[in-house]
Structure 1
Amino acid sequence: MAKRFEIGDHVTWNSEAGRVSGTIIAVHTRDFDYKGHTHRATEDDPQYEIKSDKTDHVAAHRGGALEPA
């Protein structure tokens, strides 16, 4: 089972630029549109929007891609 996180949790993940850290700003449990693409999410497999600490860039990832910071 994938890790579960909540809004406000501080996490890290790998990106093409290397290891990034940020704060979860939204938890999606239903399909949602993000940057022109439909992202699949369910109650059992949510996706998280995370705001980068350094760049304020927002990314969407599943719990399996995230680690507690």
Structure 2
Amino acid sequence: MAISKGDEVSWNTSQGRTHGTTVEKRTKQFTFEGQTFKASQDEPYWIVESAKTGAQAAHKESSLTAR
């Protein structure tokens, strides 16, 4: 999957499918909003911004679908 910064993507949430824009790719362990994520080159995470709320969250690249 080839996701790049600024791409529109969608992902599942407890409220259903939502969509937004990729902001930043992370490939090393990081902390975001008090939570630690174990990102790697093989399993990167993206910081995504919700199109509906503007809120940002971290998601595994494998959980994102390009729109």
TM-score per shorter chain, which class?
Answer: over 0.9
Instruction: Provide the secondary structure at the position in 1 that maps to 2:62.
Output: helix
The TM-score normalised by the length of structure 1 is 0.90
**1:57 correspondence with 2:31:** no
The TM-score normalised by the length of structure 2 is 0.92
Amino acid at match of 2:60: R
Distance apart, 1:4 and its partner CA:
3.8
Percent of residue pairs bearing the same amino acid type: 34
Contact 1:4–1:63 (CA under 8 A) maintained in structure 2:
no
Offset from partner CA, 1:31-51 (integer Å, 9 cap, x none): 100111110111121100100
Contact 1:8–1:24 (CA under 8 A) maintained in structure 2:
yes
Moved over 6 A (4+): none
Let me know the Cα RMSD of the aligned residues: 1.0
Q: What is the number of residues matched between the two proteins?
A: 67
> Could you list the runs of 5+ residues in structure 1 that have no partner in the other structure?
none
